[in-house]
Amino acid sequence: MEIFGYVAALFIGFSLGLIGGGGSILTVPVLVYLLGLSPVIATAYSLFIVGLTSLVGSYKFYKNGLVSLKTATVFGLPSIVAVYLTRRYIVAAIPENIFSIGNLMVTKDLLLMLLFAGLMVFASISMIRKKRSPALPVDENIDTAPGVSSPNGKHPEPRFNYGGILAEGLVVGTLTGLVGAGGGFLIIPALVLFSKLDMKMAVGTSLLIIAAKSLFGFVGDIFNYEIDWLFLVTFSAISIAGIFVGTFLSTRIHADKLKTSFGWFVLAMGIYIIGKELFF
């Protein structure tokens, strides 16, 4: 199964480069079911893998002027604080055995996997569902989504709904800390709605935010767990190789249909995890 885990690492980066996200949602299931890590360690490792891969992916957008550093700061700071505190204190404080329902013991590992499966189902719906308007995206659509630029071709300065974007940053940061996923499918709509960014700018800015909050969140885990750095760097390097392949193909493959198909795959995986953890 180990070889399939490393092949999946390539696919995670490939998906991120090709359709702008989604692949990171598979990182925890790959680490748990294919590579045999515990859910707690898998969510920690996922933060590093997703963070580093997203950082590399954001460079392409930054080079093309499609990253709003001001927006990344306003959204990213509360998100970084939330994910760090969640990993440093909240996850570490959750007891191994939480409560029981009949013969079912709800453990820390079970709770994290069910939370993650629920996130997968929610993310899959956002990938499957068709956009009603380019101005109100509901998912992570990358290079194929039309941007909204000013008449002179330049991207307008973001206009902030500070209350909304700060609240969203705290929620996404906490969620990322619990399940180890980047949460781009939540960040991108928030950036469009609360910062008035166009779609491409929102995707590039989202990648930078994901990178920052994921890597800072992982710092909180260094104090709590023993890290296998050789494995982590190897897996991340393979994922980064995948993102270069995906980015190269993104201008040659229409990603909309692929994103929808991938959404159905993520939905099936989420349902499988719920069934496996509760009934098998």
DSSP conformation letters of 157-204: PP---HHHHHHHHHHHHHHHHHH----HHHHHHHHHHHH---HHHHHH
DSSP-assigned beta bridge partners for residue 106: 99
Closest Cα partner for 75 from 190, 220, 175, 200?
Answer: 190
Residue 217 pLDDT exceeds 70: yes
Distance CA 120, CA 25 (A): 7
Higher pLDDT, 73 or 146: 73
pLDDT of residue 229: 94
pLDDT of residue 234: 94
The answer to which of 204-213, 242-251, 263-272 has the lowest mean pLDDT is 242-251
In our burial notation (b when 16+ CB lie closer than 10 A, e otherwise), range 159-194 reads ebeeeebbebbebbbbbbbbbbbbbbbbbbbbbbbb
DSSP-derived letter for residue 25 is: G
pLDDT of residue 37: 92
pLDDT of residue 139: 38
The answer to which of 20-24, 60-64, 175-179 has the lowest mean pLDDT is 20-24
Higher pLDDT, 83 or 249: 83
Q: Rounded mean pLDDT of the chain?
A: 79
The answer to which of 11-15, 39-43, 196-200 has the lowest mean pLDDT is 196-200
pLDDT of residue 238: 93
Q: Which two tokens stand for residue 233?
A: 């760097």
Kind plus residue range of the DSSP H or E element containing 257: helix 255-279
Greatest mean pLDDT range, 34-38, 173-177, 203-207: 34-38
Q: What is the mean pLDDT of residues 24-49?
A: 88
pLDDT tens sequence across 82-124: 888 888 888 888 899 998 888 888 898 888 889 888 888 887 8
Distance CA 203, CA 221 (A): 27
Distance CA 243, CA 11 (A): 8
**What residues have CB less than 8 Å from 171, skipping those under 6 apart?**
82, 186
Contact (Cβ atoms closer than 8 angstroms) between residue 182 and residue 26:
no
Q: What is the DSSP string of 45-92?
A: HHHHHHHHHHHHHHHHHHHTT---HHHHHHHHHHHHHHHHHIIIIIHH
pLDDT band (50, 70, 90) for residue 19:
low
Residue 226 pLDDT exceeds 70: yes
- Rounded to two decimals, the pTM is 0.74
pLDDT of residue 236: 93
State the virtual CA torsion across 200, 165, 117, 242 in degrees, nearest 10: 30
pLDDT of residue 233: 94
pLDDT of residue 160: 62
Higher pLDDT, 208 or 151: 208
pLDDT of residue 263: 79
Higher pLDDT, 173 or 184: 173
Residue 136 pLDDT exceeds 50: no
